Amino acid sequence: MKICVAGAYGAFGLKHLDALKNIEDIEVTSVMGPHKAKIESLAEERNIPNARTTLEESISEDKPDAVILATPTQAHAEQAIVCMNAGKHVLIEIPMADSLEDSHLVVDKQKETGLTCMAGHVRRFNPSHQWIKNKILAGELNLQQLDAQTYFFRRTNTNAKGEPRSWTDHLLWHHACHTVDLFQYQTGGKAIQAYGLQGPIHPELGIAMDMSIGMKATNGALCTLSLSFNNDGPFGTFFRYICDNGTYLARYDDLFDGNNNQIDLSDVAVSNNGIELIDREFISAIKENRKPNSCVTDAISAMETLDEIERDLNHGG
């Protein structure tokens, strides 16, 4: 299987390239990025045959079977549709779009073409969250509350590597999307209540730098999510699962009990790397001609909840 990674020299493009090296029977035949010198340097460094500055050029010239979009959020929907119109399977880094309207366009195109189109909701695949999901499905745990903190220090446009970038990130449509989807995935359905509060809008970036989100599931479980671009300290997202039978702390691919004792996750999946696991699911779904976990037709429920929260914010939340 031939794969193109678009946005390849960004923080998550590199994570996907690293993950794909561990997966058999695939070949990264092209990488795409708008800066010609940077993308050519990356291709040479990684021994990838083709470096392109546009997605259309990569699709037409290199003819990949599938594309991984690690490009700016604002380009996701349009680029995903371009890929599917060209007959290419596509994995879209989270989120699939930055509006519900554009998300529906992606879903409609997937239904029209029947191609694999997967949203990069990696929290579904992190071994830590998989362990919790397995316990819930087995009837061993019932979630009472999910408490999540998503904290960064981003008062300028910088990526996860601390490098400048040309687009503006968003607490709601990108970072909250992870937790909104995860909460609904773990509780088995769309939240029946959702609200949001936001702090002042940054005068230059034009976005809220602090946000608070609350949700309630059909079974009564609650989710409390705090987000900030003003946090001066360790960054990332940290989850506390408060359950009827224990408390658990998830830190990306690692899991601890409520007393900070680490839990062995070695038997949860074939890898302890969530990015590799999501790439494996994407490739397996294509090969097996089946619907993947985190198909855009399922992920759309998170976008619907985000839209509900945004409307709440716009009405003074």
For residue 140, the Cα-to-chain-centroid distance in whole angstroms is 27
> To the nearest whole number, what is the mean pLDDT of the chain?
95
- Average pLDDT in the 250-262 region? 96
- The CATH fold assigned to 2-121+275-293 is Rossmann fold (3.40.50)
The Cα-based distances of 125 to 268, 287, 292 in angstroms read 10, 19, 12
* pLDDT value for 257: 97
In the chain, what is the straight-line distance between the N-terminal and C-terminal CA atoms, in Å?
47
* pLDDT value for 74: 93
* pLDDT value for 161: 65
Distance between CA 52 and CA 50 in Å, rounded?
7
pLDDT at 1 over 60: yes
Q: Is 278 helix (H, G, I), strand (E, B) or coil?
A: helix
Distance between CA 250 and CA 263 in Å, rounded?
10
Whole-prediction pTM value? 0.94
In the numeric block, which tokens belong to residue 93? Answer: 């880094």
Distance between CA 155 and CA 230 in Å, rounded?
7
The CB density around residue 272, as the number of other CB atoms within 10 Å, is 16
pLDDT at 135 over 90: yes
Q: What is the dihedral of CA 304, 306, 307, 312, to 10 degrees?
A: 130
pLDDT at 199 over 60: yes
- Average pLDDT in the 174-183 region? 97
For the chain, which residues make up each domain, given as ranges?
Answer: 2-121+275-293, 123-272+301-314
pLDDT at 104 over 60: yes
Which helix (H) or strand (E) segment holds residue 50: the answer is strand 50-52
- Average pLDDT in the 176-190 region? 97
pLDDT at 170 over 90: no
Distance between CA 247 and CA 181 in Å, rounded?
20
Same fold, 2-121+275-293 and 123-272+301-314: no
- Average pLDDT in the 60-85 region? 97
Is the domain defined by 123-272+301-314 classed in CATH 3.30.360.10? Answer: yes
